Chains A and B, each alone.
Chain A
Amino acid sequence: MNGLRRILKAPSTFWIAALLVTWALSTWSFPLYKALDARWIIRFPSQFEIPLDVWLTALFKWLQNDADLFFFTFRDLTRFLSSLIEWPYDQVRALMADGFSSGQGSNAVPIAPPLSWIAVIFILVAMGRYARDWWLAALVGACFFYLAVFGQWDSAMVTLASVIIAVPIGVALGLGIGMLTYRSLWFDRMTRPVLDLMQTVPVFAYLVPVLVLFGFGPVAALIATLIYATPPMVRISTLALQSVPPEVVEAGQIVGCTQRQMMWRVLIPSAMPTLMVGVNQVIMLTLNMVIIASMIGAGGLGFDVLSALRRLDIGGGIEAGFAIVVMAIALDRLSQAFSKRPPSPIPPADWGFMRRHPWLISTCVVVIGTYLLGLVIPAVQTYPASLTLTTGSFWSDALEWINVNFFDTFEAIKSFFLTVLLLPVKRFFSGIPWAWGIIVMGMAAWRIGGWKLGLMAAAMTLFIAASGLWAKAMITLYLCGVSVLIAYMIGVPLGIWAGQNARVNSIVAAIMDTLQTLPSFVYLIPVVMLFRVGDFTAMIAIVLYALAPAVRYAAHGIRSIDPQMLEAGLVSGCTPRQLLWRVKLPLAAPSLLLGLNQTIMLALSMLVITALVGTRDLGQEVYIALTKADTGHGIVAGLCVAFIAIIADRILTALSKSSKTRLEAA
């Protein structure tokens, strides 16, 4: 009797019971519906569905056609906004890729060519040398030379032009909003949930409204890119300003800074290193968007990848994808070097202008020199086409060879995973009746984070059910769950290994850095080539993409353990194995949970992209909405993904916090 009570009271009993009931209901929900003739068990009653998507579509139609904001129409506003971006974009694009011309269309008279390829490479090399050293200069130079040699130059410059426009606007917007949130607590409270939502709503979801409001084209693509890349900059700016030491702020006050001097002379310069991390983030996110944005009209490398993928042109896709990677690596290293660059020593005052600005002068000389030379020798202006190499056919042949020779092996691996892991889990999730799903989600969140969290989780789950997207959401959950599980099972041991061994760490960290630099889309290309479309392909792409945080946080957790704790363990006579399981892992638990959180977030963002390779989940719904320009449906499906992400985030944050306080209390 006593034993039974103890079992009932044990905390794990709740979880085991919840799992068992869920499993039972999932298995027998269909027979149950047949037996009771109650269709509501497996389907949310359609008369109660909220037609939010219809309303939203109507709203956007109204905004687009009829909305009058007193002085001007909404349409004028969107046109004004796009003209604001269009003009500078056209100039930069002319400078980088198309050349300047006057007149329209076929009557255009060329005035000046774009920057020559030598000039662009020289500028980047000079920036590399200025930011760090000749090594970085050589890396950046090699990356861009690669683009020229492999015939990707023109597309790459179009992409670079959109980066050049998007990054300053994104940084300025992010910093501006960050400054407001720093100054006003009220504004901070207001923006926080908006930022949460913007960072969890899948990219595709806001492609639809942007497409509807701004039309197809590079400007719409830039706006979507800005929406995607700005929120992290807001976060980082707020954080950077808040973490300026209070003494420095007081020092500014006591010397009599006005509010404006305080911001621009004290706060922002002091926060500069952190702000530069934000700039790096914006650059990487902009590049991440390159392919996706080409769906609504961005040209350049992204468009090349997308069209190659649609044509199933393996070689072309890999080449263009690799060009994006090369560019991403170059820009990432360059911007990181700028963020870590120590202030340059003050040159003696008696040096002339020429001597003080060697890079500026030499860059001007090269730009003008190559322009003049290019008029005479075309090869100086454009890299000669006869000297370009292509690896496209090589990749196609290689993949063909692999597919011919290893087809059976790949098929076997695929069907093994499908039958052993994917299908059973899929059946489990798909069978869960929506009503029980809401209950069990709410209860679990309540157990972990209190009644507020429980209520929120239940409400969000109800929203998903009431939107009529329950079945799709369960597919999302299943794919995400399986991928996160595998990514975590591979990532955590790798991270622990790296955390304990400095040599392994340097290698693993380098690989993870590179993996994180790759735009998410690029992961799809090789996987699709090898495994064709389907859930298994999607899973592998997600695992690859979501691996990095699992590894990083595990390694970080292990490495940041107080060495005294390890010494205490060793002195008590722990074997290495005991040390790992009894000391290191428990102490690294908060970090491991944070890693899990990040893994889930990345998995969800990748999941939506895998809709392109034929998954049948919420991502697919968003993607279909995009192709049909169905604003409301896209937003609602996107919100469902965001809600799943938010629930997972809040639950894991609560878990991580409680395990942290437990460790600190001990």
Chain B
Amino acid sequence: MQRKVKLTCHNVWKLYGAHADSLLSGTDNPSDAELIQTNTIGAVRDANLEISEGEIYVIMGLSGSGKSTLVRCLSRLIEPTAGKIAFDGEDLLAMSPAQLIDLRRKKIGMVFQNFALLPHLTVLQNVSFPLDIQGVDRPTREARAREMIATVGLEGRENYFPNQLSGGQQQRVGIARSLVGDPELWFLDEPFSALDPLIRREMQDEFLRLQSLLKKTIVFITHDFDEAIRLADRIAVMKDGRIEQIATPEQLILHPASDYVAEFTQHIAREKVLSLRSIATPDMSGTQFAGDLDGALKVAEAADIIEAADAPFRVLNEDGAPIGQVSANLVIDVLIGRTHR
């Protein structure tokens, strides 16, 4: 089933420099040499994305790769130099300031790396702030805000000020604030990067739990490849303003498009990412099978059973039809990272 496309971005460029505008009027695709020559910085270069409804779309890149600029172009916090962005098929860049304000109030939420909470407001006031701005009356907006605060697990802290909370708690407030208007599109700009590793892990779980409840369309920015793999339905890897590859985590590990991407995938615990479906050998020769396994299982989850058995297992797709087999040897190949096939 093909899901509906929520946000598309087509040939988006963001250039910084004195000649930023004129550079793109002559050609659609200025080369590296041209950029250097004119002293122009290509923060985002020719970005093409298609984000479907309900998916977690992770944009991953190291610092300076342009991921933050790209997400700001997508939310039009920054005006792109060139390109097209469409939200629900509507041209985002053609919107008037009033339309844009309306869109942001009703359909967009965003979480920031350093929380961006207003220091003079309490947790409750911070969370209800977006509704306050829209002129929602106080009882309604506070009831809604309390609901959101409960959802992120901060009941009892409604009257605290941001500086009385830990980093993790502050980001929960940020998350609650971004969700209080019930947005359709949820941007998260490195939301967990400023947190300690243990808290980060906890917040990622929390995030997945929330998403399983809310089913938002999510654009998630991170510089942490592990985080990207853990959360994403699809990942766009960025380098120097360009998107290197867009793929699901499994495809990314099995078929990295470039050495740059491969360098990230090398150190990933493959058994936790790869599913039986994606490693199974398609030939069904051999007669003896130890049993059937669901293709959606991750290798790590099935490894014990497969190794304990004498014979390979049949792998079934979601309809219950066999699509291949996995053996103990194949699992070992995956675990030690030996390229198979």
Taking the closest CB of chain A, its distance from the CB of B233, in whole angstroms, is: 23
Q: How far is the CA of A100 from the CA of B168 in the complex (A)?
A: 58
Q: Is the CB of B104 within 8 A of A254?
A: yes
Choice from A251, A256, A265 contacting B116 with Cβ under 8 Å? A251
Which residue on chain B has the smallest CB distance to residue A256? B105
Contact partners of B77 in chain A: CB under 8 A: 250, 253-254
B187: A residues at CB distance < 8 A: 254
Q: Mark A519-543, 1 if CB is under 8 A from B, else 0.
A: 0000000000000000000000000
Q: Does A102 contact B (CB under 8 A)?
A: no
In the complex the two chains form, is A251's CB within 8 Å of B104's CB?
A: no
In the assembled complex, B118 has its CB within 8 A of some CB on chain A: yes
**A250, A254, A261, A272 interface centre (most CB from chain B within 10 Å):** A254
Q: Point out the residues of chain B lying under 8 angstroms from A245, CB to CB.
A: 114, 116
Partner of A254, one of B108, B113, B118, B122: B108
Q: Which of B102, B116, B159, B177 contacts A250 (CB 8 A)?
A: B116
B156 interfacial contact with A, CB 8 Å: no
Interface residue range, chain A: 20 to 34
Contact of B181 among A253, A255, A261 (CB under 8 A): A255
Cβ 8 A contact of B161, one of A248, A261, A270, A342: A342
Q: How many residues does chain B have at the interface if contact means C-beta atoms less than 8 Å apart?
A: 33
Q: Which residues of B contact A270 (CB under 8 A)?
A: 118-120
Q: How near does chain B come to A266, taking the closest CB pair, in angstroms? A: 7
| Chain B: minimal CB distance from A342 (Å) | 7
Q: Provide the main secondary structure of the chain A interface.
A: helix
- B313 at interface, CB cutoff 8 A: no
Chain A residues with CB under 8 A of B115: 247
Contacts of A253 in B (CB 8 A): 77, 104
Q: Roughly how many angstroms separate A342 CA and B121 CA in the complex, as a whole number?
A: 11
Asked if A346 and B159 make an inter-chain contact with CB atoms under 8 angstroms apart, the answer reads yes
Distance to closest chain A CB from B40 (angstroms) = 21
Name the interface residues of B101-151: CB closer than 8 Å to any CB of A. 101-105, 108-110, 112-122, 129-130, 132-134
Q: How far apart are B75's CB and chain A's nearest CB, in angstroms? A: 6
Nearest chain B CB to A473 CB, angstrom units = 43
Determine if B223 is an interface residue (Cβ-Cβ < 8 Å). Answer: no
Chain A residue at smallest Cβ distance from B115: A247
A256 and B122 in contact, given A245-B116, A343-B161 (Cβ under 8 angstroms): no
- Give the contacting residue for A256; candidates B114, B121, B133, B159; CB below 8 A: B133
Closest to B102 in A: A256
Alpha-carbon separation in the docked complex, A261 to B134 (Å): 10
Whether, in the assembled complex, B72 has its beta carbon less than 8 Å from a beta carbon of chain A, the answer is: yes
| Distance from A183 Cβ to chain B, minimum over Cβ atoms (Å) | 15
Q: Is the CB of B181 within 8 A of A346?
A: no
**Nearest CB of A to B322, in Å:** 49
Q: Is A104 in contact with chain B by the CB < 8 A criterion?
A: no
Residues of A within 8 Å of B105, CB to CB, are 255-256
Chain B residues within an 8 Å CB radius of A11: none
Complex CA distance for A275 and B300, rounded to whole angstroms = 57
Decide yes or no: A343 and B120 within 8 Å by CB, A253-B77, A254-B109 being known contacts.
yes
Q: Which of A247, A255, A265, A342 contacts B114 (CB 8 A)?
A: A247
The answer to whether B118 and A266 touch across the interface, beta carbons within 8 angstroms, is yes
16 contacts between A and B (CB under 8 A): A250-B72, A254-B75, A254-B77, A254-B110, A254-B178, A254-B187, A255-B129, A256-B103, A256-B104, A256-B105, A257-B101, A257-B133, A269-B120, A272-B120, A343-B122, A343-B161
Name the 10 nearest CB pairs between A and B, nearest first: A256-B105, A255-B130, A251-B116, A247-B116, A256-B104, A254-B110, A247-B112, A269-B120, A256-B101, A346-B159
Show the binding face of A for B, using Cβ within 8 Å. 245, 247-248, 250-251, 253-258, 261, 265-266, 269-270, 272, 342-343, 345-346
